[in-house]
Amino acid sequence: MGRRAKRTKAITYLLLGAVALAGCTTSAKEAASDAPISVKVAQAQEGALGGKVYTGTVMPDQKVNIMPKMAGKIIDIPVDVGMRVKKGQVLFRLEDKDLKNAVTKADAAVSAAQASIQTAQAARESGIVQATGGAVQSKNGVLQAKNAMIQAQGAITQANSALEQATHVVEDAITSFDKAKQALNDATTNHDRMKQLFAQGAVSQVQLDQAETALVNAQAGYRSAEIARTNAQEKVAAAKKSLATAQKAYDNASASYQNANGGYENAQKQVGVAQNTAGIEASQQALKQAQVGANIARDMLADATVVSPINGIIGAKNAEIGEMVSMQSPVLVVANLDTVNMLVYLPADQVNNVQPGSQVQVKASAFDYVTTGTVKNISPLDEKGKGYPVQITVANPDLKLKSGMLAEVRILAPDTQHGIVIPSSALVKEKDKTYVYVLEGDKAKRVEVKTSGERGAEALVTDGLKKGTRVITTNVALLSDGAKIELNQ
């Protein structure tokens, strides 16, 4: 066989081998197209590219350690970790039998204090009535004593007048007595002289009889004058006695008047004492104290039921029914995650690029979640070389951000372009067009998109995707429109 024939034969074998190999390759492709391609997906998020990125830690907007105001045993705790609670919702209850008894006792003390006020008021009114009656009687006694003094003064005046008259009568009686005595002496002397002269025959019997008659008349006048003098002297003595009696009566009446005045003053003081409200005020103060005690007892009873001070979620539960709890250890922890805070530290060359109210982009490090936040405050003090603390508040209505999670905070410039952010690995570029594969059931759907740029592992889509669409991020070179896929998350 010549060289030419051998070459021809070799070419023939090569062609046959190529045909066989081509058939095998086609069969392999067909077999591969039937097998699902393992992929991973990411959720398209609204966001932006550009700006500086800092790492912060998610913190609840409010976090409250729930501790009772008193030690006690838990009898009910109707909440558990992860449960949403509202402000004022009951979190747990302590045993309250003794507290209820204390409220009953305090209420009884209030009732007793109220009764004491009524008793004090009644006693005051009764005392006023009695004291006023005593004052009226004392006033009447004063008036009576004054009238007695006036009457006694009148009696003294009458007695003085009677004594004065009796004194004049005595003086007249004494004068008359002296005259009668002189007349008797004269009549006696004349009778004795006439008797001697009659014996000598110097006078007649008639003259002697006349002398005897004059003597008898003088004796009678003397006796009458003596009786009149005695009577007058007796009247003077009686008048003096009446005057002494009237003076004594006046002294007694004056003393009675003074006593009556003193009694009236005392009665008026008693009226003042009776009108005094010190007893009522003391009872009212006792009522206030009792009411304070009742309020304290009710507050303590109310404190046995512990309610949530905020809207939030139960983050920790440290006790169960039947356990004793104290004021030092938290029974529950309630956190409000509807809004969360993040703390990042900005260097000196960046801190002046943000202001309270500036918008930032927040991206969770642990999963695909992008949202926006607002700068809440900026500290002017450097934190031990870490930078200037900037607190950011982020709305968290779906509670996707949990306390302690790490998140990337992107400080956005005012002219930053916003759109849909996806991983750069999801992009497929052919000629001058860009595509992504999105998850549609168990198949990959090819979608044309427009981008405005890439930064690191992220790309910004400005058209063709909606927020929440799941895009395929791995093995995109193996995909075709409608290719079967299986998730490998």
pLDDT in tens, 406-422: 998 988 777 677 888 88
Pick from 296-300, 331-335, 410-414: least confident: 410-414
Q: Above 70 in pLDDT, residue 303? A: yes
Reported confidence tier of residue 33, pLDDT bands at 50, 70, 90: low
389: which strand partners? 345
Higher per-residue pLDDT: 464 or 368: 464
CATH of domain 32-45+419-489: 2.40.420.20
Reply yes or no on whether the pLDDT at 359 is more than 90. Answer: no
pLDDT greater than 90 at residue 168: no
β-pairing verdict for 312-317 and 41-43: unpaired
Per-residue pLDDT band for 289 (boundaries 50, 70, 90) equals: very high
Asked whether this chain's domains 32-45+419-489 and 50-84+304-416 adopt the same fold, the reply is no
For the chain, the domains span: 32-45+419-489, 50-84+304-416, 101-280
pLDDT in tens, 417-442: 788 888 899 999 998 899 999 999 99
Q: What per-residue confidence (pLDDT) applies to 393?
A: 96
Q: Could you tell me the pLDDT band of residue 190, with boundaries at 50, 70 and 90?
A: very high
Of residues 142 and 32, more confidently modeled: 142
What is the arithmetic mean of pLDDT over 316-338? 95
The pairing of strands 324-325 and 37-39 is unpaired
Q: How far are the Cα atoms of 15, 25, 429, 434, 445 from residue 29, in angstroms, in the given order?
A: 21, 6, 23, 26, 20
Closest CA to 408 of 373, 456, 361, 372: 361
Given the candidates 3.30.450.20, 3.40.640.10, 2.40.30.170, 3.30.70.260, the CATH classification of the domain at 50-84+304-416 is: 2.40.30.170
- Average pLDDT over every residue of 192-214: 90
Positive or negative, the Cα torsion across 94, 100, 105, 109? positive
* DSSP code per residue over 7-33: HHHHHHHHHHHHHHHHHHHHHHHHHHH
Residue 47: what are its φ and ψ, rounded to 5°?
A: 180, -160
Percentage of the chain modeled with pLDDT above 70: 92
Contacts 24+ apart (CB under 8 A), 110-115: 110/287, 110/290, 110/291, 110/293, 110/294, 112/290, 113/283, 113/286, 113/287, 113/289, 113/290, 113/291, 114/287
pLDDT in tens, 54-85: 899 999 999 999 999 999 999 999 999 999 99
Query: Mind listing the pLDDT tens digit for each residue in 254-267?
Result: 998 899 888 888 98
Comparing 18-22, 45-49, 202-206, 214-218, the range with the smallest average pLDDT is 18-22
Helix/strand/coil for 427: coil
pLDDT of residue 51: 74
Classified as helix, coil or strand, 443 is strand
Do 96 and 304 touch, CB atoms closer than 8 A? yes
Classify domain 101-280 by CATH number: 1.10.287
Which residues fall within 8 angstroms of residue 286, CB to CB, at 6 or more apart? Answer: 113, 116
Residue type, 354: V
pLDDT band at 340 (very low <50, low <70, confident <90, very high): very high
Burial (CB count within 10 angstroms: exposed 0-12, middle 13-18, buried 19+), residue 10: exposed
Question: Can you say whether the dihedral through the CA atoms of 56, 58, 61, 67 is positive or negative?
Answer: negative
For residue 439, the Cα-to-chain-centroid distance in whole angstroms is 62
Asked whether the beta carbons of 456 and 421 are under 8 A apart, the reply is: no
Per-residue confidence (pLDDT) for residue 25, from 0 to 100: 43
Who has greater pLDDT, 135 or 319? 319
Q: What is the mean pLDDT of the chain?
A: 87
Q: Which amino acid is at 328?
A: Q
CA dihedral 154→157→160→165, nearest 10 degrees, is -100
